[in-house]
Amino acid sequence: MPHHQMGRKLSIDDDDLDLIMSILLEQEKPLSTNELAEALIQNKLQQETALLENKFKDVVVYDPSRTYEIGQRLLFPALEYATAVIIDQREGNNLDLGTFDVIRVEFEDGGQNSPDIREFASNLSVAHKLNRDNDDDDLFAYPIETSSSKELLTESFIQMLKNFLQKAPELASVGEYWFLRDLILEVNIGHLNLAEASLALAGGVPLDTAHILSDIGSLGDSSLELQLFSLNYHLKHDRRFDEVGPAGQILWHLSEMQPNEVKQIPSELQYAKIEYDRALLSSEMLALEEEIADEYSPIDTQTEIDQDAATITLIYPHRRLGTFPLNQQTRQIFPKATTASRIWITLIDKQDGEEFSGWVVPAGRYVYGLERYYRKHRLPVGAYVSVARENDNPGRIIVSFEAYPARIEWIRLISIQNTHLSFKNEKRAIGANYDDLMIIGADDLERIDALHRRVQDEKRTLFAIMKEILPELGRLTPQGTVHAKTLYSAINILRRCPPGPILAILSANPEFQNMGGQYWKLTG
């Protein structure tokens, strides 16, 4: 058969939907998007091959030395395997070539308005580079080479299929699996109540669907795959249940048993985006921004590399709420989800092996569940905290810090003066490695919380907060200067903000004077 490369962009239409529905009906079980995509591509390849076989049926490979008849179909390997029909022939006239004929052909890919008609020699007695070595008209020397299913099964095609299936009312989905909506098994209120009881007895630990199905009993004689899919589908549409598994794994949890900080992003972690001119940031400032690695900094995600561990510097809002930031590096450590809005994980204390529950909240760019860990080890704002996967298990995360015997050190301590934030130097016992430019201590957390709420209610601008905090911090040093990292750490006590807008205001406003090395002073 002649060579042919599929070489076209695949599309999906209603005929493909009919095929998918037939496959699901025949299989009598849910199939994944990948499985349906592969079946669809195999069908398209079979159709392509059938078209090619029909196209080259009764075709003869062109050979200048052979004779032909009007109406014969020829294949021209030298012309990208184009086919043509002989519409006329005559005697040739060239003394150098001896006796020969000329065939007139019309190529089949030409249009009616502008047919592609050409002439070629035939019955040629002299040698020619297109002469074949034998008279074999078997075309298997020119195999059809359609694209392979592996080549066509791309992420873009799978996503295109997923988008198409989501618009098909005949189909229902759970995670990456699909089935005919009308054939989903019935799950009644009694089943759902038993599922709720099963999860309640689990004590806050999520369960997979197979465990829940075992507790409530089977849903009939259908395949286990269809029973699990049907139960998943009905749990998904009941507000009592929340799917909290990482990508590729379905786990269920009771919504009412989830912490409020997981279901709703705390105000302390909400960043109201501030527009600013990044051209104001010097190369030194950009380097500082990358060093801080705030989860809201616009660092290019294309530079991400796979890694097994990552370290952050703890800032006040995360320390106060027991959260951990999902920045460019740390989000690679924690599991991702296919459809879940939050993911349940196990956090492991590297120091003593204690395990406790945690929650990944991608929309809020944080992980919740570390308050107990921070309190247990008395980690200060500014401490370095690391995370790593346990043996590449995405659902088990090891948390650690660089510990040393506690020693008394001078640190900045928050002091509330009326309705403003102030600071003083105090001695504290510190037993963890930290960034001395970002360390801050806090005693009266309730007053700090109240001040934070007041700042939000009053809608104090970032500029106003900076003018208030910078001189207060400056009083702690003989020079009266404040490093930009220290200012960033302090500002985040009152308002969640990445370093970019802070650095831009420092650079653009003449009331802030740079004293060298990213140390600043208020002159206004």
Q: What is the pLDDT of residues 479-491, one digit of tens each?
A: 999 999 999 999 9
- Rounded to two decimals, the pTM is 0.78
| Residue 253 CA: distances (Å) to CA of 23, 192, 209, 238, 256 | 32, 13, 11, 12, 9
In this prediction, residue 141 carries a pLDDT of 41
CA distance 73 to 69: 9
List the structure tokens of 120. Answer: 């070629």
> Which two structure tokens, joined as six digits, stand for 183?
């054939």
| 84 strand-pairing partners | 74, 107
The DSSP secondary structure of 125-151, one letter per residue, reads -S--TT--SS----GGGS---PPPHHH
pLDDT at residue 88 is higher than 50 = yes
pLDDT above 90 (res 92): no
Q: Is the pLDDT of residue 2 over 50?
A: no
As a whole number of Å, the end-to-end CA separation of the chain is: 84
Cα–Cα distance list, 227 to 105, 129, 359, 419 (Å)? 62, 66, 28, 60
pLDDT tens digit sequence for 146-161: 455 666 778 888 899 9
287-330: pLDDT as tens digits: 999 999 999 999 765 455 567 899 999 999 999 999 999 999 99
Region 53-59: mean pLDDT is: 76
